[in-house]
């Protein structure tokens, strides 16, 4: 078992740390929130005073943070991870951030003699608690192999996407497609309703036809057809609209940086902005069907 520093003990990081402890790893923890740090201590981790303090004398450092600027500060800042970790330490950033920041941090880490992967997750808070997260990992093959047994304590599927930054690329490309297909599914159901076509009928037909998509089949935005979908529990997340908007904005930022045309991705980002700004940031992202319908 390894000695691991965990930085960022929020809704995702907290349960991920507990799964590392459960697997027998020795953990040091850091968060700016005193209650989060106290909870980590109670779960069996040793609290640290700063990211740099946490990163000293460990085999690996895992971060789960809300934005690229924060990731860069934690790794590259004074008193940060890179300045304090011993050469050879394995760095794993599980945050969902912009591709450019992910690549910049990996480059700084490599220059300092450290190994790093970007390893954003899908599966949400439920997946973090159940240790069933999917990790999309970008970095050198040998660093991926070194990270794999540690990630296995927190997730079920661990995929090597390619070089540094491709873990982030895989996550935002997948989630851009998800945001687009969710809105498309909502539009199809609301058009059907107004044309007198029953929602269950459209579900039965399209789930076996060329309109089939995960947003329809596994996460149906109208109540009824898929029992486990948030539409059947008043659109409690699940995956909050604010998180979808974050990923769509990251996709737009990445697209602008490489001159990629993503017309539907841009429209999806605009529609989720409208929906979040209307007071629904905390609603499940499938709840946007009410805005498409005009009923909310």
Element (H, E) at 157: strand 155-162
List 34, 42, 142, 195, residue binding a second copy (CB under 8 A): 195
CA distances from 193 to 204, 208, 222, 272 (A): 14, 19, 11, 22
> Token pair for residue 123?
């599966």
63 near a second copy, judged by CB under 8 A? no
Whether 171 is a known active-site residue: answer yes
163 near a second copy, judged by CB under 8 A? yes
| Residue list 71-100, contact with a second copy (CB under 8 A) | 99
Are 52 and 84 in contact by the 8 Å Cβ rule? The answer is yes
In terms of Cα–Cα distance, which of 208, 196, 179, 195 is closest to 272?
179
Q: Choosing from 3, 22, 171, 249, which is the catalytic residue? A: 171
Alpha-carbon span 187 to 191, nearest angstrom = 6
List 209, 227, 279, 295, residue binding a second copy (CB under 8 A): 209
> Token pair for residue 27?
């953990």
Compose the 6-35 pattern: x for residues touching a second copy by CB under 8 A, - for all others.
------------------------------
Give 40 or 268: the residue with its C-beta nearer to a second copy.
268
161 near a second copy, judged by CB under 8 A? yes
Alpha-carbon span 175 to 142, nearest angstrom = 27
Are 7 and 61 in contact by the 8 Å Cβ rule? The answer is yes
Give 57 or 224: the residue with its C-beta nearer to a second copy.
224
Least Cβ distance, residue 109 to a second copy (angstroms): 18
197 near a second copy, judged by CB under 8 A? yes
Ordered DSSP codes for 17-37: HHHHHHTT-EEEEE-S-HHHH
295 near a second copy, judged by CB under 8 A? no
126 near a second copy, judged by CB under 8 A? no
> Token pair for residue 91?
């760095």
List 180, 243, 269, 276, residue binding a second copy (CB under 8 A): 180
Are 30 and 47 in contact by the 8 Å Cβ rule? The answer is yes
What is the number of other CB atoms lying within 10 angstroms of the CB of residue 76?
A: 17
Give 94 or 251: the residue with its C-beta nearer to a second copy.
251
Q: Which chain residues interact with a second copy by CB under 8 A? A: 99, 122, 134, 136, 157, 159, 161-163, 165-166, 169-170, 172-178, 180-181, 183-185, 187-192, 194-198, 201-202, 204-206, 208-216, 218-219, 251, 254-255, 258-265, 267-268, 271, 292-294
The set of catalytic residues is 171
């Amino acid at each position: 078992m390894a000695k691991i520093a965990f930085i960022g003990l929020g809704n995702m990081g907290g349960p991920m740390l507990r799964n590392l402890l459960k697997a027998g790893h020795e953990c040091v923890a850091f968060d700016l929130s005193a209650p989060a740090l106290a909870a980590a201590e109670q779960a069996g981790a040793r609290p640290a005073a700063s990211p740099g303090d946490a990163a000293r004398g460990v085999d690996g450092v895992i971060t789960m943070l809300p934005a690229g600027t924060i990731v860069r500060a934690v790794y590259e800042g004074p008193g940060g991870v890179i300045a304090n970790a011993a050469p050879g330490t394995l760095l794993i950033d599980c945050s969902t951030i912009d591709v450019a920041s992910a690549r910049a941090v990996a480059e700084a880490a490599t220059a300092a003699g450290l190994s790093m992967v970007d390893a954003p997750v899908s599966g949400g808070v439920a997946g973090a608690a159940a240790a069933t997260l999917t990790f999309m990992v970008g970095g050198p093959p040998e660093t991926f192999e070194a990270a794999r047994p540690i990630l296995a304590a927190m997730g079920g599927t661990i995929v090597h996407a390619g070089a540094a930054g491709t873990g982030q690329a895989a996550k935002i490309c997948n989630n851009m497609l998800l945001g687009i297909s969710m809105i498309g599914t909502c539009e199809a159901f609301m058009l059907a309703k107004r044309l007198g076509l029953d929602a269950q009928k459209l579900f039965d037909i399209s789930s076996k036809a060329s309109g089939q998509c995960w947003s329809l089949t596994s996460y149906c935005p109208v109540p009824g057809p898929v029992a486990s979908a948030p539409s059947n529990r008043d659109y409690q997340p699940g995956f909050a609209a604010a998180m979808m908007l974050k990923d769509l904005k990251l996709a737009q930022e990445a697209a602008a940086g490489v001159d990629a045309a993503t017309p539907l991705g841009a429209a999806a980002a605009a529609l989720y902005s409208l929906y979040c700004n209307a007071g629904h940031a905390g609603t499940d992202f499938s709840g946007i069907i009410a805005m498409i319908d005009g009923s909310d």
